[in-house]
């Protein structure tokens, strides 16, 4: 599941909030994409 979907399901207004608490659970490939998009 994408981090964007997780953020939406958890009711976070920002993906950044989700990353702070759940990024360590996200597969490495998705982490790399969020870095590219400057969300980290």
Please check whether residue 34 is in contact with residue 19, taking contact to mean a CB–CB distance below 8 angstroms: yes
pLDDT of residue 11: 93
User: Can you give the pTM of this predicted structure?
Assistant: 0.53
Taking the C-alpha atoms of residue 31 and residue 33, their distance in angstroms, rounded to an integer, is 5
Chain segment 1-40, per-residue pLDDT in tens: 778 888 898 899 998 898 888 777 766 666 666 666 665 4
Total number of residues shown for the chain: 40
Q: How many CA atoms lie within 13 A of 5 on its CB side?
A: 4
The per-residue pLDDT for range 21-30, each reduced to its tens digit, is: 877 776 666 6
pLDDT score for 3: 80
Task: Give yes or no for a contact between 6 and 18, defined as CB atoms under 8 angstroms apart.
Answer: yes
pLDDT at 18: 87
């Amino acid at each position: 599941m994408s981090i964007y979907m997780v953020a939406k399901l958890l009711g976070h207004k920002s993906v950044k909030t989700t990353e702070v608490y759940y990024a360590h659970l996200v597969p490495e490939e998705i982490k790399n994409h969020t870095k590219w998009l400057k969300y980290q």
